[in-house]
């Protein structure tokens, strides 16, 4: 086994930070994830760079803010040549493998323009966020042109679950009393058991695939990073037995919301509240019906992680594998009268993050909790450091978490940032916002959360006096609030004007080039005397004209 550790980077999809027992959920017990926290560091203030799958993940995989990588929402291809964690690790001789979801949309036009065959090794990596795909499945197979027959569909067919859309008809449907299929896309069906045994469900299947990857990797002497990326508990909210009826309305915690929020006169917030998914989850009966299924999906995930960790222990992998667990964003579930994600309240933008490093260097922090402001883009540089990959400060915008994992000095962040492009949304349509202006950006300093809304007043919350974020002080004229907003705008401006697209060379590389380039380029010298005084070198005047070249 290599002396360098491996990294297992587990990502759930749409998992709220507060739906795990180690993060305080009163009814949902997740002992396997809790045990991971007991072996590592649990972060209480980790936020994603966009509260929606695609851009959040592109930030995670590139270590760069959304405004840097440019894949601002789910359908927006990640530009060809945008450097990823996988690319950096590969240069360092480590293997970056994908098992599950990325939400990557390949830049096919860009590849065509640069003459890159999408089926070539380079083309495949450019299509898979820089990973080598062991298994790619984004976990949504609707009955539509978007449907992509996956290896999981093949698997279901092999196990007797045969239809034109096994993912939809079995893994994400229930049955009525007469055996008729009832779609998991409809919320009223959330409490039915999925039409597939647990061991053949998506969560179990992907766990099996991670084990298969690791079995395969053990035959080679190369450190690896495995991105095990589960689709659940993302919608469709439907879970196999026995998880479908482990929880009921008595286990549903009260919504975080206040009547006054519905009266907002902020045009953008008002438009959010009018969106169908927000209207839907504002109804108590929807919350009480769907949340037990959501909890069941998380409980199932925890059990599968227990199975995975047990297997890794037996295989001898645990002692040399850093395990990280997180999510790409949360889920409103009716809080603030909202549904799904797409804005910046804590249940949408804050995610669980646990990193357990088995190495002796991390002994001091085992079982500890870190309240530092961390971002999803910090994972890439942390993993790069662990796998012996040189830092890429001209590319990577995240910050290496190693000091926090080893209990040493050196990590500091004053502000955390998240962005959202809502040009595709009902809100943009209702507000008639052009694509270029349908955007918001959040900046949070640990107390004040400021959301800049292009074309509108900002939204702001004070999490110290208003931890539930029910009072928007974005237009408050109190002296303190005015001053905080000015400070936040200055901090955003410092962030936004950084040369984040300057990725082609480091200063060190440029210095070498520069020294060569400057040789012979003489700017502002009056005569030989000035030149020699300034440089300490004789002025090499070739008199008369130099010799012929040939």
Residues 85-114 close enough to bind its own copies by CB under 8 A: 87, 107, 109-110, 113-114
Residues binding its own copies: what is the number (CB under 8 A)? 123
**Bridge partners, 352 (sequence order):** none
Show the tokens assigned to 70.
């440019």
**How far apart are alpha carbons 504 and 281 in whole angstroms?**
46
- Kindly state whether residue 390 participates in binding its own copies, applying the rule CB under 8 A: no
Give the residue among 100, 98, 103, 102 at the shortest CA–CA distance from 76: 103
- Kindly state whether residue 421 participates in binding its own copies, applying the rule CB under 8 A: yes
Among 2, 280, 318, 368, binds its own copies (CB under 8 A): 280
Among 26, 179, 536, 538, binds its own copies (CB under 8 A): 179
Please, are residues 501 and 82 in contact by the beta-carbon 8 Å criterion? Answer: no
- Kindly state whether residue 187 participates in binding its own copies, applying the rule CB under 8 A: yes
- Cα-Cα-Cα-Cα dihedral sign, residues 400, 13, 438, 104: positive
- Kindly state whether residue 414 participates in binding its own copies, applying the rule CB under 8 A: no
- Interface with its own copies by CB under 8 A: which range of 22-30, 254-262, 320-328, 522-530? 522-530
- Minimal distance in Å, beta carbon 51 to its own copies? 15
- Kindly state whether residue 201 participates in binding its own copies, applying the rule CB under 8 A: no
Quickly tell me which residue has 């040399």 as its tokens. Answer: 320
Question: Taking CB under 8 A as the criterion, which residues in 328-347 touch its own copies?
Answer: 339-340
Q: Considering the complex, state which of residue 303 and residue 328 has its C-beta at the smaller distance from its own copies.
A: 328
**Bridge partners, 368 (sequence order):** 41
- Interface with its own copies by CB under 8 A: which range of 32-40, 249-257, 474-482, 526-534? 526-534
Show the tokens assigned to 480.
């303190």
Q: Considering the complex, state which of residue 5 and residue 174 has its C-beta at the smaller distance from its own copies.
A: 174
**Bridge partners, 12 (sequence order):** 327
CA–chain centroid gap for 392, Å, is: 19
| DSSP tag of 376 | G
Among 2, 21, 150, 279, binds its own copies (CB under 8 A): 279
- Kindly state whether residue 462 participates in binding its own copies, applying the rule CB under 8 A: no
For residue 73, the tally of other CB atoms under 10 A from its CB is: 22
- Kindly state whether residue 520 participates in binding its own copies, applying the rule CB under 8 A: yes
Question: Taking CB under 8 A as the criterion, which residues in 431-460 touch its own copies?
Answer: 435-436, 439, 441, 452, 454
| DSSP tag of 128 | T
- Interface with its own copies by CB under 8 A: which range of 28-36, 174-182, 380-388, 473-481? 174-182
Among 49, 165, 201, 416, binds its own copies (CB under 8 A): 165
Q: Considering the complex, state which of residue 260 and residue 501 has its C-beta at the smaller distance from its own copies.
A: 501
Give the residue among 147, 137, 152, 132 at the shortest CA–CA distance from 205: 152
Please give the helix or strand (H or E) that residue 208 lies within, else none: helix 202-217
**How far apart are alpha carbons 114 and 112 in whole angstroms?**
5
């Amino acid at each position: 086994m290599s002396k360098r550790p491996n990294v297992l980077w587990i990502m759930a999809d749409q998992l709220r930070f507060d739906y795990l027992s180690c993060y305080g959920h009163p009814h949902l017990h997740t002992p396997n994830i809790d045990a991971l926290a007991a072996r590592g560091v649990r972060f209480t203030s980790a936020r994603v760079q966009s509260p929606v799958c695609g851009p959040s993940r592109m930030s995670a995989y590139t270590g760069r803010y959304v405004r840097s990588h440019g894949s601002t929402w789910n359908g927006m291809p990640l530009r060809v040549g945008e450097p990823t964690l996988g690319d950096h690790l590969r240069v360092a001789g480590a293997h970056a493998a994908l098992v599950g979801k990325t939400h990557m949309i390949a830049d096919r036009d860009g590849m065509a323009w640069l003459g890159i065959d999408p089926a070539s090794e380079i083309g495949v990596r450019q299509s898979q966020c820089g990973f080598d795909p062991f298994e790619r499945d984004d976990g949504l197979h609707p009955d539509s042109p978007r449907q992509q027959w996956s290896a999981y569909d093949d698997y279901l067919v092999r196990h007797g679950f045969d239809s034109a859309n096994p993912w939809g008809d079995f893994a994400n449907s229930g049955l009525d009393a007469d055996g008729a299929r009832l779609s998991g896309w409809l919320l009223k069906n959330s409490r039915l058991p999925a039409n597939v045994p647990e061991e053949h469900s998506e969560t179990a299947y992907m766990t099996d695939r991670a084990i298969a990857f690791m079995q395969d990797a053990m035959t080679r002497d190369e450190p690896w990073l495995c991105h095990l990326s589960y689709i659940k508990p993302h919608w469709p909210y439907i879970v196999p037995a026995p998880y479908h009826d482990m929880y009921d309305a008595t286990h549903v915690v009260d919504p975080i919301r206040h009547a006054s929020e519905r009266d907002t006169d902020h045009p953008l917030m008002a438009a959010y509240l009018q969106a169908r998914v927000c209207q839907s989850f504002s109804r108590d009966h929807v919350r009480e019906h769907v949340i037990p299924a959501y909890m069941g999906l998380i409980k199932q995930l925890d059990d599968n992680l227990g199975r995975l960790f047990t297997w890794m222990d037996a295989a001898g992998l645990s002692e040399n594998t850093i395990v990280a667990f997180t999510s790409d964003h949360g889920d409103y579930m009716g809080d603030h009268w909202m549904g799904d994600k797409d804005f910046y309240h804590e249940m949408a933008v804050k995610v669980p993050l646990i990193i357990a490093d088995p190495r002796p260097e991390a002994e001091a922090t085992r079982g500890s909790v870190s309240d530092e402001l961390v971002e999803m883009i910090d994972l890439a540089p942390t993993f790069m450091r662990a796998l012996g990959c040189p830092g890429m400060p001209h590319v990577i915008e995240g910050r290496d978490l190693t000091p926090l994992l080893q209990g040493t000095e050196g990590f500091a962040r004053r502000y955390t940032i998240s962005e959202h492009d809502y040009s595709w949304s009902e809100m943009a349509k209702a507000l008639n916002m052009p694509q270029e202006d349908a955007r918001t950006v959040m900046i949070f300093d640990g107390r004040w959360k400021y959301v800049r809304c292009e074309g509108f007043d900002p939204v702001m919350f004070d999490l110290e006096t208003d931890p539930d974020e029910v009072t928007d002080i974005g237009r408050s004229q109190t002296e303190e609030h005015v001053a905080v907003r000015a400070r936040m705008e200055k901090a955003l401006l410092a962030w936004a004007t950084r040369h984040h697209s300057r990725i082609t060379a480091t200063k060190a590389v440029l210095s070498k080039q520069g020294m060569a380039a400057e040789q012979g380029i003489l700017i502002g010298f009056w005569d030989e005397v000035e030149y020699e005084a300034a440089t300490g070198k004789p002025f090499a005047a070739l008199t008369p004209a130099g010799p012929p070249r040939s």
